[in-house]
Amino acid sequence: MAIKGPVGLGRGRRRRMTPALKRWRLSLELTQAEFGKWLGVSRATVNRWEGGLQAIPKSVELLESLTRGRIIPAAKDQHILPLTVSGRRVREGGETMNKTLAIIKPDAVQSGKTGKIVAHLEQSGFTLRALRLTRLDSERAAEFYKVHREQPFYAALVSFMTSGASIPIVLEADGAVRKLREVIGATDPAEAAPGTVRKLYAESKERNAIHASDSDENAEREITFFFSRRELLDSGG
């Protein structure tokens, strides 16, 4: 059987690409059918790509290179795929678009403010897409806050976040990341605007009731940190 090289690629690159595609799929723990569904192709096509029997479209190679390193570690056991392919077009966003992550922190959960905070978020125009009561262990908290690891407050932050239950919540609204930052207010409740969640419910800068993602990219990472794709309800949910 004649084996064609992929569009615009030499055979050497095709040979390197096909095992990479399979490794990528396996690292996401997806079946060929699930992976194909996401990419908008049949299971048989994925099978042919992985066997090197059919050219891999450039868009798939681009998608793989975009997600390598950045998405795979976060998505490893979470099944969240933050990029979608539409034909040959790769579009940023996908299932985390217009979504952000909030965490009701241990101080607020322990002092019984969960209901009021959730009501405040809903009244501010957010729709809940996923929610869980959990307790982070040190390893998970250290990983979640790793961007702060050089900060003097890092150890105390990890210790606080593991001190009791917390509630990660995926929230949806237009411009969700920015909107939630406005609704929760400044990090330090002393500086937060009147009517914001932190002004109303936070104790201090360290015990400040709620976390919110600070960019779309971090929202994507943080949502995948806590929730699988199957746990995110869509707009019909």
Phi/psi-derived region of residue 8, left when phi > 0, alpha when psi is between -120 and 50, beta in every other case: left
Binding to ligand CMP (CB under 6 A) within 112-151 occurs at 148
Q: Interacting stretch for ligand CMP, rule CB under 6 A, among 28-36, 69-77, 204-212, 216-224? A: 204-212
Ordered alpha helix ranges (H), 28-149: 32-39, 43-50, 58-67, 72-75, 106-110, 114-123, 138-144
Is residue 58 at the binding interface for ligand CMP, with CB under 6 A as the rule?
Answer: no
Which one of 79, 120, 148, 211 is the catalytic residue? Answer: 211
* Size, binding site for ligand CMP by CB under 6 A: 8
Q: How distant, in Å, are the alpha carbons of 63, 133, 147, 165, 212 from that of 124?
A: 35, 22, 28, 24, 14
Q: Are 222 and 82 contacting, i.e. CB atoms less than 8 angstroms apart?
A: no
211 is catalytic: yes
Which listed residue (34, 203, 206, 217) binds ligand CMP by CB under 6 A? 206
Q: Interacting stretch for ligand CMP, rule CB under 6 A, among 6-14, 58-66, 162-170, 203-211? A: 203-211
Q: Interacting stretch for ligand CMP, rule CB under 6 A, among 76-84, 87-95, 127-135, 200-208? A: 200-208
Radius of gyration of the chain (CA): 21
Binding site for ligand CMP (CB under 6 A): 148, 153, 157, 187, 205-206, 208, 211
